[in-house]
Structure 1
Amino acid sequence: MSENGDQPLPSFDRLNVLVVEDEAIISFLIEDMLREFGCAGVTNVAGVAEALAAIAEQRPDVAVLDVNLDGEEVYPVAERLKAEGVPFVFTTGYGVDGLAPAWAHRPVVQKPFRAEMLARALSAVLATV
């Protein structure tokens, strides 16, 4: 059941998810949410170089990208994912206003967020592939 009890969370069985988040506690929280959704695998990385290496090693099915990684913007990762046709959502404490104008049309989940907010955003981007 969802946190508010009205609907079960969607299932994302068999999905491999890349989480790009520099705050370890938040990264693990997102991983827990994704595991609750039924994701098969979650890869956590904290920076752009690590994320690009992870994508090269194993293309994820979907990704969750924190916009600001300890002062470094995640947009090179977003560019790579876009080029490879991998859907993704941004996370930021600033909501849509925290995105560069070129990315403002992309889905964003504002921090702090609940599992159902992340699930809705992932469902939306996965429906477009």
Structure 2
Amino acid sequence: MLGQASIFLVEDEVLIRMMLADMVEELGHRVVAEACNIRDAQVLAETMFFDIAILDINIAGSSIAPVATIIARRGLPFIFVSGYGLASRPEEFIERPALQKPVSISILGETINAIIATSSRADDSSPNIQ
């Protein structure tokens, strides 16, 4: 593991949300916010401090796109998860990582670590302004 990440988790199915939260914590990260609907997710996406978001693509029949847009605007990374197939990912975010449910802990861990590594490299290449 490259470091502990704070995770924002959006999932409408309570058992899946609990399973993902357990996996995140088992991987050594921490869930700092959870939402089960688009409205709450939008508020949290705007206001919470987190390193990475894990977003179910379909929240109670609605697209996660408005939440993803907020997070992208903030310049924060996110991972899509879906039980309906990865083709349902919002077209404007087709380049973002996406995992098929059920997600294995090893694949989730690899994906989170890849994002952390990419963020660390970006931070290392930023000029040090004092």
TM-score under structure 2 length normalisation: 0.82
Kindly indicate whether the alpha-carbon contact (under 8 Å) linking 1:95 and 1:110 is maintained by their aligned counterparts in 2. Answer: yes
Separation in structure 2 between the aligned mates of residue 123 and residue 62 of structure 1, nearest angstrom: 11
Count residues with an aligned counterpart. Answer: 119
Name the structure 1 match of 2:125: none
1:2-36 Cα distance to aligned partner (Å, 9 max, x none) = xxxxxxxx3642x2210000000000000001111
Distance 1:92 1:71, change over 3 A: same
Separation in structure 2 between the aligned mates of residue 28 and residue 12 of structure 1, nearest angstrom: 22
Separation in structure 2 between the aligned mates of residue 95 and residue 122 of structure 1, nearest angstrom: 20
Kindly indicate whether the alpha-carbon contact (under 8 Å) linking 2:7 and 2:51 is maintained by their aligned counterparts in 1. Answer: yes
Unaligned regions of 5+ residues in structure 2, if any?
A: 120-130
Residue of structure 2 aligned with 1:25, choices 4, 10, 15: 15
Unaligned regions of 5+ residues in structure 1, if any?
A: 1-9
Structure 1 position 42, deviation (Å): 3.2
Name the structure 2 match of 1:55: 45
| CA-based RMSD | 1.6
Greater fraction of residues in helix: 2
Separation in structure 2 between the aligned mates of residue 68 and residue 99 of structure 1, nearest angstrom: 9
Structure 1 position 40, deviation (Å): 3.5
State percent identity of aligned pairs.
30
